[in-house]
Amino acid sequence: MGMEMQCISYYQSPLGRILLSSDDTGLSGLWFEGQRYFARNLDVDAVERETEILKDAKRWLDVYFSGHEPEFSIPLHIQGSPFHKEVSRIMCSIPYGEVMTYGEIAEMIRTLFGVPHMSARAVGGAVGHNEISIIVPCHRVVGSNGNLTGYGGGMERKMKLLELEGVDLSHFYVPRRS
What is the per-residue DSSP string for 37-68? TTTTT--TT-EE---HHHHHHHHHHHHHHTTS
Active site residue 138: yes
**Contact by Cβ (8 Å): 128, 143:** no
Residue 31's H or E segment, with its range, is strand 27-32
Catalytic residue among 138, 141, 142, 162: 138
Short-list 177, 118, 108, 172, CA closest to 145: 172
Whole-angstrom Cα distance, residue 137 to residue 44? Answer: 26
Whole-angstrom Cα distance, residue 140 to residue 14? Answer: 19
Q: Point out the residues that are catalytic.
A: 138
